[in-house]
Chains A and B, each alone.
Chain A
Amino acid sequence: MSIAFNREQGLDTLSLMIRSRLFEKKIETLFSSHEMHGTTHLAIGQEAVHAGVSPALDPKDWIITTHRCHGHTLAKGASIESMLAEFFGLKQGLSKGLGGSMHLIDLEHHNAGTSAVVGSGVAIATGMALQLKRTGSDNVVVAFFGDGASSRGIIHEAMNMASIWNLPVLFLCEHNLYGMSSSATDMVSVKSIASRGSAYSIESRSVDGNDVEVVYAAVQKAAQYIRAEGRPYLLEALTYRFSGHSKNDTCNYRTREEENVWKQKDPLEIFKERMIARGHLTEEDYKAMITLEQDKLDTVAESLITQKQELSLDEAYSFVYAEGGSQ
């Protein structure tokens, strides 16, 4: 089951996927040239998931994402300025430089942030859904997690609670075959993580996570189901990360042959070719889109490098405890 985007929606989606791909590549460059510090987790190859999920939601639906959160955050609406600034550790960043690459929080776009403790965000998303339900909201919360996180006990606890309490959560498993270096074949007891839904009486489906229209349609349907039935839903998107787990990964746990097989299924290429075949895009249009996004990215990065503003330690202290209460 899929849908065909109209021209406008298709171009928007394509440009989001391009932005995400180029953003990640820019980050990769800035890390290897040591202009950024810390670590980073890229989602190159997984663009169809994040570009398919958030646009299929109501803008007021919430997401909780993971350590691999750049694409989700872009797709939910954050600007590349606020994200890049955060990666540089700057005051203009989404979290004023206190969060960094693994902690992108953007309340304005109903992105409640990430847990970089693999799997833990799923319980937090479930709690957000509990409060949405208590307050009579129609909105849903998407809890992103990966095949690695699927082995955490907290996922079991959260799914059980979401089911017994009928909570509006979309458990969204990005199954990219590897939890860091560990193959899901060796670490996960089931072939399809979606098949675990039945253990919690949760409706579930597994879809091609490299086809953005398939992901979009599946999320739209799942969100409709959650709103109509007041029940959680588990959606598994099968995909592959082209990049390593984090910045120092030589990918010695997988073969180049396997990587090449998946590169034939590059979500960006697939969708671009489809747009061309539909007559919605030419190669020239595509090149122009790439140039446009790349120029924007380079300009923003340049300007941030030259105008660094950082929090002082005293300013950072002011974010350890919230003020207020009865004291």
Chain B
Amino acid sequence: MKQLSYREAIREAMIEEMARDEQVVVIGEDVGSYGGCFKVTTGLLERFGTHQVIETPVSEEGLVGVAVGAAMMGMRPIVEIMYGDFSTLASDPLINHAAKMYFMSAGQISVPLVYRTPMGSGTGAAAQHTQSLEALFTNVPGLKVVYPSTPADAKGLLKSAIRDPNPVVFIEHKLYGSEDFVPEGEYTIPLGVSDIKREGTDVSIIAYGKAVFMALEAASILEETEVSVEVVDLRSLRPLDTQTILASVKKTGRVVVVHEAPQFGGFSGEIISQIVADFEAFQALKAPIARVCGKEMPTPFNKHLEMQLPPSPHDIVDAVLNLFPSAVYKTTPAGKGHRDFSHIAGHSKFLVSN
């Protein structure tokens, strides 16, 4: 094992794949000597030259369209779009073309394209550079959607995405400097397989991307209680590893779904639907399913306002505790002998009112 940042892990995946296959080509704005907006492609131009690193004008729709055409002819482009927000510009080539080419041609043409883009707030970049727009893509058959949390997952999933014959939307969070252990040597992680980041028995927190870290932090806060938390990191949103979700729910009977995107119409709705549509998982539920998601507003610039937008570990703790109402009634007239978590719950409505 070695220690790599999220940024370095993504870069390493690209380097290994570009060295393995000269058809693997990085395409995007400022991806050359500048190293990309978030410095993920630093050094690639120097190492692989313009044959495998193609810098483009500010033409998101055009460059993704070009990548689709090149992929149809045998290139395996890795497109970098500097902010996920600009996916609105790139959506025609991705949604109307890349996702449908294999189908419309009845298998004559495939589009092995990776669309890398960072999403999420916390950067002070305000409303047009911070959105979490994964749900734009998860409802499109023909696209795969991946959103890794850790450096190790990012590397293994990106290598699989590059080798996949389908268009893959590869979403990155912006904690590019966060470090963790990454296996030595060659490995891939299959798309469509989630990962239990922490095992537990009382509640399943289902998350992806940066929200996984919030979930893990909430889980460690909850160590002070008797609530044993399982954290399921989806890693892939489409295909979705429904099996692992259902198995976890059947084990714990309680679910909190967490993501940074706004709640209304968010991907959490799909996760919950998968759970309640399964007879056994539905029967196993001991409490309603909770969601902790982003607020329903564009990202404000003001730092204190921005910080309140995404789910915090304390929001998640509150949501978990609310699934155990008997445990928090100690401060109400409900009676004695119940567990008291008031010292760790930040904003639980049960506790604050007392």
CA distance A119 to B165 in the complex (A): 26
Q: Give, as a whole number of angstroms, the nearest-CB distance from B234 to chain A.
A: 16
Question: Could you tell me which residues of chain A, from 3 to 36, have a CB within 8 Å of some CB in chain B?
Answer: none
Q: What is the chain B residue whose CB lies nearest that of A325?
A: B164
CA distance A128 to B54 in the complex (A): 14
Give the segment of A48-56, A152-160, A181-189 that binds chain B.
A152-160
Q: Do the beta carbons of B72 and A134 come within 8 Å of each other?
A: no
Q: Do the beta carbons of B65 and A319 come within 8 Å of each other?
A: no
Q: Which residues of A contact B106 (CB under 8 A)?
A: 94-99, 319
CA distance A94 to B106 in the complex (A): 8
CA distance A135 to B75 in the complex (A): 10
With an 8 Å Cβ cutoff, the count of chain A residues facing the other chain is 46
Selected from A96, A161, A323, the residue in CB contact (under 8 A) with B66 is A161
CA distance A129 to B141 in the complex (A): 28
Q: Do the beta carbons of B190 and A107 come within 8 Å of each other?
A: no
Q: Which residues of B contact A131 (CB under 8 A)?
A: 69-70, 73-75
Give the segment of A67-75, A110-118, A278-286, A292-300 that binds chain B.
A110-118
Q: Do the beta carbons of A124 and B93 come within 8 Å of each other?
A: yes
B159 within 8 A of A: yes
Q: Which residues of A contact B163 (CB under 8 A)?
A: 325-326
Q: Which residues of B contact A97 (CB under 8 A)?
A: 106
Number of A-B residue pairs with CB-CB distance less than 8 Å in the complex they form:
157
Q: What range describes how many residues of B lie at the interface?
A: 35 or more
Q: Which residues of B contact A153 (CB under 8 A)?
A: 61
Q: Which residues of B contact A98 (CB under 8 A)?
A: 103-106
B109 within 8 A of A: yes
Question: Could you tell me which residues of chain B, from 100 to 134, have a CB within 8 Å of some CB in chain A?
Answer: 101-110, 112
B326 within 8 A of A: no
Q: Which residues of A contact B67 (CB under 8 A)?
A: 127
Q: Give, as a whole number of angstroms, the nearest-CB distance from B17 to chain A.
A: 10
Q: Give, as a whole number of angstroms, the nearest-CB distance from A70 to chain B.
A: 16
Q: What is the chain A residue whose CB lies nearest that of B98?
A: A124
Taking A327-B160, A327-B192 as contacts, is the C-beta distance between A320 and B141 under 8 angstroms? yes
Q: Which residues of B contact A117 (CB under 8 A)?
A: 92, 96-97
Q: Do the beta carbons of A95 and B104 come within 8 Å of each other?
A: yes
Q: Which residues of A contact B211 (CB under 8 A)?
A: none
Apart from A103-B104, A112-B109, A126-B65, what 8 extra A-B contacts exist at CB < 8 Å?
Answer: A98-B105, A98-B106, A117-B97, A128-B70, A161-B66, A320-B102, A323-B165, A326-B188
Q: List 27 A-B contacts (CB under 8 A).
A: A95-B104, A95-B105, A97-B106, A113-B109, A123-B65, A123-B69, A123-B93, A124-B69, A124-B72, A126-B69, A128-B73, A130-B66, A130-B69, A131-B69, A131-B73, A134-B70, A154-B61, A154-B92, A157-B65, A324-B164, A324-B165, A325-B166, A326-B159, A326-B163, A327-B164, A327-B191, A327-B192
